[in-house]
């Protein structure tokens, strides 16, 4: 009789532990301290960039897509590693205050890898006057706008409304 009671208590504890560890909060927390209520979202943005004869760059918005997902650990380039030609992506809240910034390497200078005559890998940078580029980032609740600016001048080239 005592074994039967012990067996029932053990089974009950196992079931309760499974329920306890199986419950999950609806808030997701990321390493940078960002908390997203509900399900996390990833934002995909597509743009074209073009350099005119005066070496001025213009950016045109193509499209955006918001998907319920979360990104794996993402390498964000710090702004202080930028050089002439790079871009700065800024996430802004509804009051146009910067939420987050990151560096985008120059989309008009694309590194190309190839095998040379001696069968060794080489890398060359191909510079163009027009290119398409995509941005993928973890969308934060407070982000309402995305701006893309020149690195050297930090002048906004385009502002995209998210929500």
pLDDT recorded at residue 36: 46
List of residues 6+ apart from 93 with CB closer than 8 A: 99, 142, 143, 144
Topology (CATH) of 27-161: Immunoglobulin-like (2.60.40)
pLDDT recorded at residue 73: 82
Buried b / exposed e across 113-122, counting CB within 10 Å, b at 16+?
A: eeeeeeeeee
pLDDT recorded at residue 23: 57
pLDDT recorded at residue 88: 94
pLDDT recorded at residue 58: 94
Q: Name residues of the chain where pLDDT drops below 70.
A: 1-2, 4, 12-13, 15-37
pLDDT recorded at residue 18: 60
pLDDT recorded at residue 76: 80
């Amino acid at each position: 009789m005592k074994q039967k009671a012990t067996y029932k208590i053990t089974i009950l504890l196992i079931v309760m532990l499974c329920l306890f560890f199986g419950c999950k909060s609806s808030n997701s927390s990321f390493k940078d301290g960002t908390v997203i209520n509900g399900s996390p979202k990833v934002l995909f943005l597509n743009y074209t960039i073009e350099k005119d004869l005066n070496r001025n760059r213009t950016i045109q918005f193509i499209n955006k897509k918001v998907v319920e997902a979360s990104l794996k650990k993402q390498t964000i380039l710090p702004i202080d590693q930028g050089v002439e030609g790079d871009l700065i992506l800024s996430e802004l809240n509804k009051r146009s205050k910067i939420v987050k910034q990151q560096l985008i390497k120059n989309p008009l200078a694309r590194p190309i890898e190839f095998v040379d005559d001696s069968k060794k890998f080489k890398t060359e940078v191909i510079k163009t006057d027009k290119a398409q580029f995509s941005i993928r980032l973890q969308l934060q609740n407070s982000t309402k706008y995305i701006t893309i600016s020149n690195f050297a001048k930090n002048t906004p080239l385009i502002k995209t409304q998210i929500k």
